[in-house]
Amino acid sequence: MLWELFVLFFKVGCIAFGGGYAVMSMIQREVENKGWVGVEQFQEIGSLSGMAPGSIATNSATLIGYGQAGIPGALVATVGIVLPSLLLIMLLAAFFIKLQHRLGVRSAFYGLRPIVTALIVYAAINFGFGHHSKIGELLNWQTFGTLLICGGCLFAIVKYKWHPFAVILASAAAGIVIF
């Protein structure tokens, strides 16, 4: 189990361009395929991970690892997702520091960034509303409340520049009122 956890999150770590949000749906897909975590449970894990400081993907890895194999599982999964970045950054820091100015590298990122954007947009849709299999199931109080709070948060962040932690606390209070 520990080895499986390590391999899965190592793979996720290798393609985690764009940080945490972009790989959330990939993590969900992989752990659901393995039957480790159900849809509802993943929603919980994602919410708890988003509340804590640090990358949402790394935090999810920690919690999924903990759920599968306790503290050793949490450690192994976290090491797995962080290790690829650590190795690659050491390589880059040692040898290729000016690589990012080459045209080939820049044009690769020119094509990669829209993909990462798409992955983050998809993560928002999937994480917010992806647990319903049919469109009809979306029409309920639950979805309405989520949209309402989500809209309020966007307003607070964009208009009033609230700190993310304040936004999260306020939405927890709003959740108690609405749901």
Give the footprint of other proteins on residues 140-159 (CB under 8 A).
142, 145-151, 153-154, 157-158
Min dist CB 152 to other proteins, Å, is 8
By rule CB under 8 A, what string of x and - marks binding of each residue 48-87 to other proteins?
Answer: xxxxxxxxxxxx--xx--x-------xx--x--xx-xxx-
Tell which positions 22-51 bind other proteins, by CB under 8 A: 23-26, 29, 43-51
The radius of gyration computed from the CA coordinates of the chain, to the nearest angstrom, equals 18
* Distance in angstroms (rounded) separating the CA atoms of residues 63 and 80: 13
Phi, psi for residue 89 in degrees, rounded to 5? -65, -40
> What tokens does 54 get?
């640090």
Q: Which is nearer to other proteins, 1 or 86 (CB)?
A: 86
Q: Which of 14, 32, 41, 72 binds other proteins (CB under 8 A)?
A: 14
By rule CB under 8 A, what string of x and - marks binding of each residue 88-127 to other proteins?
Answer: xxx-xxx--x--x--xx-xxxxxxxxxxxxxxxxxxxxxx
Phi, psi for residue 101 in degrees, rounded to 5? -95, -5
Min dist CB 4 to other proteins, Å, is 18
139 binds other proteins (CB under 8 A): no
* DSSP secondary structure string for all residues of 73-129: HHHHHHHHHHHHHHHHHHHHHHT-TTGGGSHHHHHHHHHHHHHHHHHHHHHHHHHHH
Q: Which of 5, 6, 8, 16 binds other proteins (CB under 8 A)?
A: 16
How far, in whole angstroms, is CA 95 from its chain's centroid?
A: 30
